[in-house]
């Protein structure tokens, strides 16, 4: 494992999209394993759910830090919400098709909760975006499923992939819809005094 003093934070997520966004920001990090049950509690709003789960993931990652490490841990969770119903990751073709048919030609919300913890402090942020998909026909939904992209994606689409051709309008954070909003993440890092921009390479 990398020397904790050589990184800005630990990431409690296996998501390649979250890794990509942190790399784009120039944040030095290492991935930690985490465990969190993605179960919505009774009377829990989607907003409360994503923030709670982000915090639980960060806390789980905290428990997996190397002995003596004080480097903060970042957790995140994203939910696609339509009619106040959270759409998770499709289990199969039929479920993915049903999700995309439900999202077709209308707007939905994408919520991403972000949490940063260090064992003494905990702080959270919430990103809210509204995404409108154009009308999708059965044939392109079938082709999209066959591409393999919808599997493992909340709401059965990926805005940063082929699913981007379905997006008619986006209000909010593109990186938030991807899974880690840059603005809110920067805000958390600044709040914890993590000067990650200090090691941005200067133009030669």
Query: How does pLDDT run across 105-158, given as a tens digit for each residue?
Result: 999 999 999 999 999 999 999 999 999 999 999 999 999 999 999 998 999 999
**Residue 162 vs residue 203, higher pLDDT:** 162
Phi and psi at 61, nearest 5°, equal -65, -35
The question of whether 84 is a catalytic residue gets the answer no
- Look at residue 202 in the predicted model and tell me its pLDDT: 79
Q: How many domains does the chain have?
A: 1
Q: Cα separation of 193 and 203, whole Å?
A: 25
> Residue 28 sits in which domain range?
4-199
Q: Is residue 147 part of a domain?
A: yes
Q: Is residue 37 part of a domain?
A: yes
Q: Cα separation of 118 and 62, whole Å?
A: 7
Q: Cα separation of 204 and 23, whole Å?
A: 20
Q: Is residue 117 part of a domain?
A: yes
CATH code of the domain containing 89 = 3.90.950.10
pTM of the model: 0.91
Q: Is residue 204 part of a domain?
A: no
Q: Is residue 58 part of a domain?
A: yes
Q: Given the residues 8, 43, 77, 187, select the one marked as catalytic.
A: 77
């Amino acid at each position: 494992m990398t020397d904790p003093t050589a990184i800005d934070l630990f990431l409690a997520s296996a998501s390649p999209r979250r890794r990509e966004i942190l790399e784009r920001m120039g944040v030095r990090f290492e991935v930690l394993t985490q465990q969190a049950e993605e179960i919505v509690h009774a009377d829990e709003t989607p907003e409360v759910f994503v923030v709670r789960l982000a915090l639980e993931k960060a806390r789980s990652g905290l428990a997996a830090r190397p002995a003596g490490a004080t480097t903060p841990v970042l957790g995140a969770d994203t939910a696609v919400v339509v009619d106040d119903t959270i759409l998770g990751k499709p289990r199969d073709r039929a479920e993915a098709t049903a999700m995309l048919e439900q999202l077709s030609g209308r707007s939905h919300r994408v919520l991403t909760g972000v949490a940063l913890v260090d064992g003494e402090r905990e702080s959270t942020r919430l990103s809210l975006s509204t995404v409108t998909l154009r009308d999708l026909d059965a044939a392109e939904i079938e082709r999209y499923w066959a591409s393999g992209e919808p599997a493992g994606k909340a709401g059965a689409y990926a805005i940063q992939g082929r699913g981007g051709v379905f997006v008619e309008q986006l209000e909010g954070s593109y990186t938030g819809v991807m899974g880690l909003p840059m603005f809110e993440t920067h805000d958390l890092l600044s709040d914890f005094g993590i000067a990650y921009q200090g090691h941005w390479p200067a133009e030669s």
